[in-house]
Amino acid sequence: MEPDGEPYSAIVTGAVGCRGGRIAFIGESAEATGHDAVETIDCEGRWITPGLIDCHTHLVYGGDRAAEFELRLEGASYEKIARAGGGILSTVTATRNADEEALVRASLPRLDALLAEGVTTVEIKSGYGLETSAEIRQLRAARRLGYERQVGIETTFLGAHAKPPEFEDTGSYIDHVIGEMLPAVHAEGLADAVDAFCEGIAFSPAEVERLFEAAHSLGLPVKLHAEQLSGLHGATLAAKFGALSADHVEYADASDVAAMAKSGTVATLLPGAFYTLRETKAPPVDLFRKAGVPMAIATDANPGTSPLTSILLTINMACTLFRLTPEEALAGVTRNAARALGRDSDIGTIELGKWCDLAVWDIERPAELAYRIGFNPLHSRVWRGQ
Ligand code: NIG
Ligand code: FE
């Protein structure tokens, strides 16, 4: 509930006006009559929300990991599979073997599944190439998706996702990421942000810190996979660098939360990964709430820990597994997701001057977006006024 307004900041009998792809009017429909619109569309009492934003995905990759899913059902853990060279590295092999065209073709059905549920902006990470040319190919394929479909694409460089087999140790690989890969990706203008996987099976906080310093020296914002499987205070480190978001954050503690509150870093919750890995430690939602840390939620769509391309199921899971309210969950895929991308001046709410990205729903009340499982009430989707 907003301090002095309707729940969900709703306008019960509202209208939205659009000019040149931007929102030119938002308010009571009675007040919209003075505007002379070229075209008027009657939504017949349906709910209109901002277009949904999936602010954390690994949507572009080759192959799949169904065999690993079977291994995990037989008792192998995600960490054990990763240490044995499976997991992320098996997707790296498949991604390196795919050309740009193949990556685009493999990714379009996954993107289409998101768009069918009202998504208008998607963040896509690299991190399955782990060598300069393959990382660049992955990011180019991601950007191309934005030409193939009516959707905003934000790309994030995640070269520090895992150590590729060609490198002896994570330290020498991070040197390579900093010295060669990041500058090359940046020179091509392919990264809107820089991310890393801070974890026992991936990169240490000290290594991430070196990467973040390099990102900042290029003027790139940072975000971090932090406190997913253990508590290393990656979230505190991220906050120190003014990160847009710290993601997963199941193991974040009170000191991490305080640091994030101070820096305005968004907590991006990823219930699909929590569910798939059958984790039991939920993120400290109450601490985030009390500290005023904005919470975003996202699919984390990836072939290993979250083969999930339903934003509506993600909203449901955030409520059922993490106890977000339906209103918090909706803010998590709109306003706060926009913040997690540093794009809140442009998208995420229905406000004058922002892009006219909307989702129109066949629902009686917004809680239905969180409550149903496996039902899609989207009526129509508007991207930049179209
Ligand atoms: O967000 N945590 C690291 N990265 C992904 C998993 C990637 C994979 O297993 O392929 C995640 O969960
Ligand atoms: Fe992820």
The torsion defined by the Cα of 306, 312, 316 and 318, in degrees rounded to 10, comes to: 60
277: left (phi over 0), alpha (psi -120 to 50) or beta: alpha
pLDDT tens digits for range 170-184: 999 999 999 999 999
**Mean pLDDT, to the nearest integer, of 202-207?**
98
| pLDDT the model gives residue 86 | 86
- Find the 340 Cα to ligand 1 centroid distance in Å: 18
d(CA 355, ligand 2 centre) in Å: 26
What proportion of the chain, given as a percentage, has pLDDT over 70? 98
Banded pLDDT at 34 (limits 50, 70, 90): low
- Please state, rounded to an integer, the average pLDDT across all residues of the chain: 96
Please check the confidence at residue 210 and state whether its pLDDT lies above 70. Answer: yes
Atom number of ligand 1 nearest to Cα 91: 10
What is the separation of C-alpha 278 from the centre of its chain, rounded to a whole number of angstroms? 20
Query: Distance between CA 75 and CA 220 in Å, rounded?
Result: 40
On whether the CB atoms of residues 171 and 207 are closer than 8 A, the answer is yes
191 CA from centroid of ligand 2 (Å): 16
The answer to whether the CB of 78 is under 6 A from ligand 1 is no
Say how far apart CA 170 and CA 164 lie, in whole Å. Answer: 9
Q: What does the pLDDT read at residue 234?
A: 98
Mean pLDDT of 154-163: 98
Q: Is the pLDDT of residue 130 over 50?
A: yes
Q: Tell me the average pLDDT across 363-371.
A: 97
Instruction: Judge whether residue 314 has pLDDT over 70.
Output: yes
Which of ligand 1's atoms lies nearest the C-alpha of 300?
1
Q: Tell me the CA–centroid distance for residue 56 and ligand 2, in Å.
A: 6
- Residues forming beta bridges with residue 267, ordered by sequence position: 246, 295
What is the phi-psi region of residue 165: left when phi exceeds 0, alpha when psi lies from -120 to 50, beta otherwise? alpha
What is this structure's pTM?
0.97
Residue 37: band (very low, low, confident or very high) from pLDDT cuts 50, 70, 90: confident
Q: Is the CB of 155 under 6 A from ligand 1?
A: no
Lookup result for tokens 């020498």: 172
> From ligand 2's centre to the CA of 196, what distance in Å?
9
Ligand nearest to the CA of 272: 1
Tell me the pLDDT band of 4, cut-offs 50, 70 and 90. low
Tell whether ligand 1 has an atom less than 6 A from the beta carbon of residue 197: yes
Is the minimum distance from the CB of 86 to ligand 1 under 6 angstroms? no
Q: What is the mean pLDDT of residues 257-265?
A: 98
Nearest residue (by CA) to ligand 1, atom 1, is: 300
pLDDT of res. 2: 44
**For the CA of 248, the nearest atom of ligand 1:** 1
DSSP string over 200-257: TTSB-HHHHHHHHHHHHHTT--BEEEESSSS---HHHHHHHTT-SEEEE-TT--HHHH
- Distances 74 to 65, 68, 71, 77, 306 between C-alpha atoms, Å: 15, 10, 5, 9, 18
Which ligand 1 atom is at minimum distance from the Cα of 199?
2
pLDDT confidence of residue 158: 98
Report the share of the chain in percent with pLDDT over 90. 94
Q: With a cut of 80, say whether residue 3 has pLDDT above it.
A: no
The answer to whether the CB of 304 is under 6 A from ligand 1 is yes
Ligand nearest to the CA of 200: 1
Least distant ligand from the CA of 125:
2
Q: State which ligand 1 atom lies nearest to the alpha carbon of 225.
A: 2
Ligand 1, from 61, 77, 161, 208: best to mutate by most atoms within 8 Å of Cβ? Answer: 161
From the CA of 246, how far away is ligand 2's center (Å)? Answer: 11
- How confident is the model over 83-112, as pLDDT tens digits? 888 899 999 999 999 999 999 999 999 999
- Distance from the alpha carbon of residue 135 to the mean position of ligand 1, in angstroms: 16
**Nearby residues of 332 by Cβ (< 8 Å), 6 or more positions away:** 269, 295, 296, 297, 315, 318, 324
- Ligand 1 atom nearest the C-alpha of 61 is 10
On whether the CB atoms of residues 126 and 365 are closer than 8 A, the answer is no
Q: What is the pLDDT of residue 1?
A: 39
Contact 185, 195 (CB under 8 A): no
> What is the pLDDT at residue 6?
84
The alpha carbon of 88 and the centre of ligand 1 are apart by a number of angstroms equal to: 7
pLDDT in the model for residue 332: 98
Report which protein residue has its CA nearest ligand 1's atom 6: 305
d(CA 214, CA 60): 25
